[in-house]
Amino acid sequence: MQVAKKRGQHKRRNHRRPIIIGILCIVMICTFVFFLHHTNTEVQAGQAYVVAQEKKSTSALKPTLEKKRQAEMSQAMAEGKLNVFSMFDDYVFFGDSRVMGFETYGYLDANRVLGDSGGTIKRVDDHLNEIKSLKPTRVYLSYGMNDMGLKINDEQGGYAGVYETEVKKILAIVPNAKIYVCSIIPCSPEALQKSPSWGQVGTYNQQLKAMCKKNKWTYINCTKLADNGNADIYQSDGIHFLTSFYPVWAQTIIDATQKAES
């Protein structure tokens, strides 16, 4: 009796085994199908992304690539692997004899420093052929000392009006260039006593700032670098800068550039 009972239980267990195996097979098949579908979905999404990137023009991708490059260069500079002058890229720098110091001291490419001794904003015309050749994406400008001496603010349209006209001559050649206007850095108190006309820095800078806001150009506040008549930045004439000042000035310009383009 007990033997028969055990045989019956064994038959029932043998009968359930194919059912369990079948269920496991179904679960495995469902899992495989789900995994295959999920993988195909990811592959399709990846392919769609690649196709979308391929369809984008080089100009559309350039801002993203530029931001990535700038971030990498900033990191390298922070780690001491690059100096600040390495951050100037695809640019020209207009200005007077102060700006010429970037070239004179070997900090920036002489071909891209379009400075003039005694230069004023009205000397932009002298370098339009160079703009045509270089086709920069960034244009930096720093004028002021000679402009104040010539009383350009007294002309029709005021200083901002004259400045704006000259910048637009540049943009007529390189319409997509970004414009960066450095504020006028005042001279030393001693130099100001000799030439009171240089005391109009505040008035001229206010006009430059408003002009930049109007045209969506970037105004760079460099005036703060001479706060409190910092004598450590000037040569003996109280106007031109010492070699050691240029990296500080350059850092201010690059910081403003990165902020504007971030």
Instruction: Write the DSSP string, 171-231.
Output: HTTSTTPEEEEEPPPP--HHHHHH-GGGGGHHHHHHHHHHHHHHHTPEEE--GGGGGGG-G
What is the pTM for the complete model shown? 0.72
* Structural domain includes residue 181: yes
* Structural domain includes residue 77: no
Let me know whether 122 and 34 are in one domain: no
Let me know whether 107 and 216 are in one domain: yes
Let me know whether 121 and 238 are in one domain: yes
Report the mean per-residue pLDDT for the chain: 82
Let me know whether 218 and 161 are in one domain: yes
Residue 168 has pLDDT above 90, yes or no: yes
Our count of domains for the chain comes to 2
Residues 78-132 have pLDDT tens digits of 566 569 999 999 999 999 999 999 999 999 999 999 999 999 999 999 999 999 9
**Domain around 9:** 1-55
* Structural domain includes residue 137: yes
Residues 3-36 have pLDDT tens digits of 444 455 545 555 555 555 556 656 565 554 454 4
Of the chain, the percentage scoring pLDDT greater than 90 comes to: 65
Closest C-alpha to 113, from 126, 99, 128, 124: 99
The residue from 9, 38, 55 where one domain ends is: 55
What is the pLDDT confidence band of residue 52, given thresholds at 50, 70 and 90? low
What is the pLDDT confidence band of residue 152, given thresholds at 50, 70 and 90? very high
* Structural domain includes residue 76: no
Let me know whether 154 and 24 are in one domain: no
Average pLDDT value for residue range 140-156:
96
